C-alpha cells in the first residue's frame, strides 16, 4: 500500500506545474480581454463626450431659435374662439353679411373670453388674499421653531393647496437651485397684500435677523384687514338691499296712500 501511494504521488506530481501554468495563462488571457473591453468602452465614452461637447458648443454658437412657449400657447387659446366664431358664421351665412355677422360674433366671443379671464384672475386674487393670513401664521410658526426662511417657505408651500402655497413652493425651489434672492422673494410680493411679508423674509434670509415676530405681525395685520373688508362688505350689502325693497314698496305706497289723496283733491278742485 505504501509503495502504491508513493507511486501515485510520484505519478501525479509532474501534472501540478502544468495545471498551475494553464490556470495562469487562462487568467492572464481573461484579464487581457477584460482590460481590452474596458479600454474600448472608455475610449467610446470619451468620443461620445467629445461629440456632445462639440454639439453643445455649436448649439451655443448658433443663434437661438424662437420656440413655441407658454405665452404663445396662451395667446393662441385666447384667439381661437373668436376666429372659430368668425369662420362658423361665414360658413353658415356666406358673403358680406356672413363676414359682418362673423365679425360681430368674433367680437362678442372675444369680450366674453376677456371677461371670463378677468373673473378668473379676480377669483384667484381673492383666494390668495383669504389664504395669506394662514400662510403668514404658518411661516411665523416655522420660523419660531428654528427653520430658515427658505425651509419655512418650502414647508408651508407643501402644506397649503392654494395660490399662496404654490408660490411659496416655487420660491423655495428657486432658492434651492441658486436663484437670485431679491427677484425670487419679489415674486412672492407680487401677490396682493404679500409685499411686506416678502420683504420680511428676504431681510431675514440675507441678514440672518429673526423674522418670527415681524411675520406674526404681518399675519395679524392681514387678518385685521380681512375682518375690515368683511365688515365693509356687510355694511354695503345692508345698504344695497334697500334698493329692491324700495322698488317693491314705493309703488304700492304711492298707489295706496298718495294716489287716492291726490285724486280726491283734484276732484274737489275741479268741482269748484
Tens digits of residue pLDDT in 111-130: 887 777 766 666 677 777 78
Provide the whole-model pTM. Answer: 0.49
Whether 91 shows a pLDDT value over 60: the answer reads yes
Mean per-residue pLDDT of the chain: 76
Tens digits of residue pLDDT in 206-232: 777 777 888 888 888 888 887 888 788
Q: Tell me if 109 sits within 8 A of 164, measured CB to CB.
A: no
Q: Give the whole-angstrom CA distance, residue 165 versus residue 63.
A: 38
C-alpha cell at 67: 420656440
3-state secondary structure of 178: coil
CA distances from 84 to 97, 99, 107, 214 (A): 17, 13, 11, 53
Amino acid at each position: 500500500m505504501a509503495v502504491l501511494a508513493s507511486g501515485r504521488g510520484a505519478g501525479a506530481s509532474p501534472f501540478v506545474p502544468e495545471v498551475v501554468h494553464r490556470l495562469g495563462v487562462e487568467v492572464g488571457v481573461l484579464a487581457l480581454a477584460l482590460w481590452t473591453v474596458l479600454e474600448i468602452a472608455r475610449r467610446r465614452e470619451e468620443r461620445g463626450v467629445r461629440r456632445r461637447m462639440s454639439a453643445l458648443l455649436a448649439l451655443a454658437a448658433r443663434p437661438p431659435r424662437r420656440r413655441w412657449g407658454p405665452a404663445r400657447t396662451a395667446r393662441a387659446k385666447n384667439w381661437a374662439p373668436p376666429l372659430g366664431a368668425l369662420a362658423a358664421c361665414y360658413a353658415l351665412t356666406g358673403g358680406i353679411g356672413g363676414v359682418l355677422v362673423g365679425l360681430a360674433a368674433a367680437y362678442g366671443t372675444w369680450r366674453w373670453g376677456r371677461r371670463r379671464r378677468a373673473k378668473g384672475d379676480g377669483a384667484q386674487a381673492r383666494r390668495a388674499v383669504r389664504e395669506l393670513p394662514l400662510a403668514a401664521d404658518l411661516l411665523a410658526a416655522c420660523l419660531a421653531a428654528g427653520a430658515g426662511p427658505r425651509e419655512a417657505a418650502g414647508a408651508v408651500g407643501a402644506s397649503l393647496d392654494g395660490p399662496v402655497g404654490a408660490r411659496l413652493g416655487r420660491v423655495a425651489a428657486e432658492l434651492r437651485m441658486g436663484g437670485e434672492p431679491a427677484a425670487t422673494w419679489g415674486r412672492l410680493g407680487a401677490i396682493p397684500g404679500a409685499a411686506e411679508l416678502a420683504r420680511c423674509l428676504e431681510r431675514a434670509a440675507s441678514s440672518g435677523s429673526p423674522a418670527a415676530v415681524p411675520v406674526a405681525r404681518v399675519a395679524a395685520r392681514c387678518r385685521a384687514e380681512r375682518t375690515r373688508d368683511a365688515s365693509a362688505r356687510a355694511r354695503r350689502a345692508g345698504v344695497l338691499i334697500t334698493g329692491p325693497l324700495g322698488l317693491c314698496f314705493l309703488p304700492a305706497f304711492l298707489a295706496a296712500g298718495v294716489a287716492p289723496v291726490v285724486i280726491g283733491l283734484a276732484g274737489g278742485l275741479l268741482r269748484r
